[in-house]
Amino acid sequence: MPRTEELGGIPRKQLNIFYVLDTSGSMDGVPIATLNRTMSETISSVKQLVEKTADALVKISVLLFNSSCQWVQPKGAERLEDFIWEDVKAGGMTEMGLALKELNSKMSRKGFIESDIGSYLPVIIIMTDGRPTDEPDEALEEIKKNKWFTKAVKIGFALGPCADVNLLEKIVQDSEAVIKTDSLETFARLFKKATVNSIVMQGQSRTTADVVTGKGIVNEIMGGDGDDPYGFSDDDDLFGLGDDSDVFEFGDDSEYGYD
């Protein structure tokens, strides 16, 4: 039986964050370098957040897919405080269907969602810059039968002009929960915000009647209502990135590898 996770003697509900990341050949060069830096800085920022507001036990699972797919943590979800991002390389095809099948196999209490005191809705953040090179329809229909997946907070990132936006919308089950951008700098900033807001809004959902959704998170990080309740105002630079900071050393005229 899974052991009860405690902080200062107080059991914490578990919050699983699943990243499903495209590392196919089209991500080679600047895109994969950006992804590596974004993941490293996102994890660092989330650790700082959780240290201050640790009312949930955050666990991280990362699924990389190209011609095959693999979990960064094959033995199970890893506690946030223990997780360290190690740079990955790009190469191969875009086997999205295979990735969905593998994700489905681990989204259960017998898989990566194990907690003896309960769990928040899991968060799934999926990113791709291309179109699938396999047939994902069967795997997509199958994972929709998984209640953890169906109820999960899902956010999609369509990176670059070749990303299959339509497929991402089907996966996250809401066209307004997909962020489309050709800018790697924009991707980096919004990816971090999506992760942080997912944790903050899940924690707040305990005391409100609000249901956390991918659409709701996207609306917040895109400034949907003009308010900034989660600390992302222009004057508050959560990630230490000033307006003049070029976090990945890309100038404004950089093509980011996308024509």
> Is 126 domain-assigned?
yes
The whole-angstrom separation of Cα 130 and Cα 165 is: 9
Q: Is residue 240 part of a domain?
A: no
pLDDT for 122 equals 94
65 near 99, Cβ under 8 Å? yes
pLDDT tens digits, 123-169: 999 999 999 999 999 999 999 999 999 999 999 999 999 999 999 99
Per-residue pLDDT reduced to its tens digit, 11-47: 678 899 999 999 999 999 999 999 999 999 999 999 9
Q: Is the pLDDT of residue 117 over 80?
A: no
Tell me the C-alpha distance between 32 and 28, whole Å. Answer: 6
Residue 145, domain member (yes or no): yes
Task: With respect to residue 122, please indicate whether it lies within any of the assigned structural domains.
Answer: yes
Per DSSP, helices labelled H in the chain are 30-52, 96-106, 137-143, 147-151, 165-172, 184-204, 214-221
CA distances from 57 to 43, 79, 82, 148 (A): 14, 7, 12, 18
Please list, residue by residue across 149-160, b when 16 or more beta carbons sit within 10 angstroms of its beta carbon and e when fewer do: beebbbbbbbbb
CATH number for the domain that contains residue 142: 3.40.50.410
In a domain, 203, yes or no: yes
Q: Angle formed by the axes of helices 214-221 and 184-204, to 10°?
A: 120
What span, in angstroms and rounded, lies between the C-alpha atoms of 70 and 78?
A: 15
At residue 259, the pLDDT reads 36
pLDDT of residue 204: 67
Q: What is the pLDDT of residue 211?
A: 84
Does residue 237 have a pLDDT over 50?
no
Q: Percent of the chain, pLDDT > 70?
A: 77
pLDDT tens string 50-107 = 887 667 889 999 999 999 999 999 888 999 999 999 999 999 999 999 999 999 999 9
To 5 degrees, how large is the angle CA 61–CA 67–CA 70? 20
The number of domains in the chain is: 1
Q: Is residue 110 assigned to a domain?
A: yes
**What's the domain range around 86?**
10-221
Query: Is residue 89 in a domain?
Result: yes
Residue 250 lies in a domain: no
Mean pLDDT value of segment 169-197:
96
